[in-house]
Amino acid sequence: MKFDSPAQTNPIDQLKIVGKPTPRIDGPLKTTGTAPYAYERHNVVPGQAYGYVLGAGIAKGRIKAMNIAHAQQAPGVIGVLNTLDFEPAPLGSQNTANLFGGAEIQHYHQAIAMVVAETFEQARAAAHMIIVEYEREHGNFDLAKLAPDAPLVKGGNGEPSVDSYGDFESAYAAAPVKLDATYTTPDETHAMMEPHATIAAWDGDKVTVWMSHQMIQWGKVALAKALGVPQENVRIDSPFIGGGFGGKLFIRADVVVAALAARKFQRPVKVTLQRPLIINNTTHRPATIQRIQLGAGKDGKLTAISHESTSGNLPGGGPEGAVNQTQLFYAGANRRTALRIAELDLPEGNAMRAPGEAPGLMALEIAMDELAEKLSMDPVELRIVNDTQVDPMNPDRPFSYRDLVGCLRRGAEAFGWDKRNPKPAANRKGRWLIGHGMAAGFRNNVLRKSGARVRLGSDGVLIVETDMTDIGTGSYTIIAQTAAETMGLPLNRVRVELGDSSYPVSAGSGGQWGAVNSTAGTYAACVKLREKVATALGLSGDDITFANGKVASGDTSFALSDAAKNGEIVAEDSIEYAEVNESHQQSTFVAHFVEVAVDAYTGETYLKRMLAACSAGRILNPISARSQVIGAMTMGAGAALSEELAVDKRFGFFVNHDLAGYEVPVHVDIPHQEVIFLDETDPWSSPMKAKGVGELGLCGVGAAIANAVYNATGVRIRDYPLTLDKYLDRLPKV
């Protein structure tokens, strides 16, 4: 199905099932422990052996020698996979760091060996018997040290790239009110509950991997390349995923070594990465150093905007795109954005939930708060006067639908923003300093081709097959809702099967593009099925309806199952986008409001209230959408107050590489959370008229917390996370 113009009225608009608060279909499986995650697929293939991965003990250098003799002779050991016996596995287009093979060490905890044994404990014990002799080289591990000389990221023409519009320098120099400040965000890790895990088994020259993975097609292509086999010889199966947040977008060492070991030792092999290797061996969100310059008139309207961000990565890796939102978020005729990248010998930096916007808005939205204070202007009003309905870098390109102002006004009213005391450190209740802060958020709506196959049986049950994944986001449910709505069936007559590379290629889960595209692909397949059903029943014309399990035209009515009485009817299609993605800027918006209490004696910060008002097109399922937003708000609270990968700048690794040292929020840290969805549709997005929300809730919430802490204490903190050492000595005297 080609989607090349705004959606008109269609079966989804009935909203009998789509748009209704529907509990997740997979909920009972998750809550009873019967949803099989990758490492728990004990019954998919017999004779599974256990692998335990050994990570490099240096961050940069070479392996001179590896003694595996003791490990090979240990009880239960089937064999040892040695990196020195392999050439480096060819990398897929999304990977930067070497996954396995060769003597060169690029980063700490790089996979260099794996012991395969009859039990996990045997494999683990034997892995610690391996003796490795290294030749250590000097490495660069300090972003702040390299930042002053970090080069600009190169553009498509290979030249250093700066995106600009108008004349920033002149406008900034002439601006009556100016802000020039630098903000930092630290390295962060995804900290998903389910570890990276794989079971691999070969059948001749074909391999099947049962793994925890977000993007099935990407993984299939990359794994085939790494193993040197045709893509059609690789099958990936990933029906349930216990969190990914971008950390499972691309294949990692677990699937490569599992497949290599299964082929070498002719046994199915199961592997899970231990938590330190998840943090040091896989990917993380890179730290940033961001300089923001804002110039405004006394009316608050921005006349000059500059945002430059520096991050680091391995050679060949990309930057953290922290300036993405600044190009589009606020009006302003003169603007400049730039990215710099330093070469670091730390583990690979790559996508983590809302890459770019999450750290970028943590800086930009503090800067806006600071500018509002300089202007003696309400922070909400400052954002309203700088709203734009067109792409500021390309004024001829309008937004498809943008109601940031609606988010701001609705959120402010529901939160009681008008009762806030704008004077910092002026609201005290006993030992508590009370503060209120807000910030706006932005995340693009990405359109990606997505396919599905639908099967209608003679029993009237509809089966949907697509390689889309469910990473805890509710994909099973919204896809079922879409199919049920389109085919006029009750929800319990639809079965959804996901995560298998033998199914049609979907958009996959990432970048908050999964929901809108996978449901649109399902809708396209169902539309084709409706046509086949009508033909099978001998119906034609424009008055055919599908409702309550029946197909009707005029006075003629059939049970939907009648169409398949002579055999199953199958239809397959994809949603494909044309100019709509180019002619209109498609984005989502949020306004965050936060109340905090800071202990006047100890400086400890407690969240009291959080509210998010979201503009994201049609909400397909209010229950799962709310869950996504409050989960993102919780992640943002961690980024604001506690999460930081501590870098050992001598030896180049993340010191706190477990969930004891890397502090994520727990239940007691998170207060009442309220989510408001504006009642809207965006017909430019897809036939669903919906947009993503999975990452939107994270965008801006960290800055809202930081701004609330400033309002409570009068101490402005520009370096995340807001830990006590950064402000305790500056608190108001008790």
Check residue 461 and report its DSSP letter.
Answer: -
Task: Indicate the SS3 state at residue 358.
Answer: helix
At 495, the pLDDT band (50, 70, 90 cuts) reads very high
Task: Tell me what the mean pLDDT of segment 725-729 comes to.
Answer: 95
Q: Which two tokens stand for residue 724?
A: 């006590």
Q: Which two tokens stand for residue 234?
A: 């690789």
| Contact criterion met (CB below 8 Å) for 235 and 502 | yes
- Give the tens place of pLDDT for each residue, 21-64: 999 999 999 999 999 999 999 999 999 999 999 999 999 999 99
- Give the tens place of pLDDT for each residue, 256-299: 999 999 999 999 999 999 999 999 999 999 999 999 999 999 99
> Considering just the CA atoms, what is the radius of gyration of the chain in Å?
27
Residue 498, C-beta contacts closer than 8 angstroms, at least 6 positions apart: 239, 466, 467, 468, 469, 470, 475, 476, 479
Alpha carbon 614 to chain centroid, angstroms? 18
- Give the tens place of pLDDT for each residue, 324-341: 999 999 999 999 999 999
Q: Return d(Cα 171, Cα 168) in angstroms, integer.
A: 5
pLDDT over threshold 90, residue 581? no
Q: Which of 347, 252, 279 is nearest to 657 (CA)?
A: 279
Q: Is 608 exposed, middle or buried (0-12, 13-18, 19+ CB in 10 A)?
A: middle
Task: Tell me what the mean pLDDT of segment 600-622 comes to.
Answer: 98
Task: Indicate the SS3 state at residue 258.
Answer: helix
The letter for the amino acid at 726 is K
CA atoms within 13 A on the CB side of 464: 39
**Count of CB atoms within 10 A of residue 269's CB?**
29
Q: Return d(Cα 729, Cα 734) in angstroms, integer.
A: 12
Q: What is the three-state SS of 8-61?
A: CCCHHHHCCCCCCCCCCCCHHHHHHCCCCCHHHCCCCCCCCEEEEEEECCCCCE
Check residue 189 and report its DSSP letter.
Answer: -
- pLDDT for the residue 582: 84
| Contact criterion met (CB below 8 Å) for 192 and 303 | no
The fraction of the chain above a pLDDT of 70, given in percent, is: 100
First to last CA, the chain: 66
Q: Return d(Cα 308, Cα 409) in angstroms, integer.
A: 30
Q: Which of 694, 695, 217, 690 is nearest to 451 (CA)?
A: 217
Check residue 472 and report its DSSP letter.
Answer: S
**Count of CB atoms within 10 A of residue 724's CB?**
12
Mean confidence (pLDDT) of the chain: 97
- pLDDT for the residue 262: 98
Alpha carbon 23 to chain centroid, angstroms? 22
β partners of residue 335: 165, 305
Q: What are phi and psi of 550, to 5 degrees?
A: -125, 155
Write out the DSSP string of 397-433: EEBSS--HHHHHHHHHHHHTGGG---STT--EETTEE
User: H or E segment at 564?
Assistant: none
- pLDDT for the residue 155: 85
Task: Tell me what the mean pLDDT of segment 76-84 comes to.
Answer: 98
How many residues belong to the chain? Answer: 734
Instruction: Give the domains, in start order, of the chain with CATH numbers.
Output: 2-35+447-579 (3.30.365.10), 395-443+586-730 (3.30.365.10)
The catalytic site residues sit at: 695
Check residue 720 and report its DSSP letter.
Answer: S
CA atoms within 13 A on the CB side of 331: 19
- Give the tens place of pLDDT for each residue, 304-363: 999 999 999 999 999 999 999 999 999 999 999 999 999 999 999 999 999 999 999 999
- pLDDT for the residue 158: 84
Residue 327, C-beta contacts closer than 8 angstroms, at least 6 positions apart: 163, 335, 337, 392, 393
| Contact criterion met (CB below 8 Å) for 466 and 503 | yes
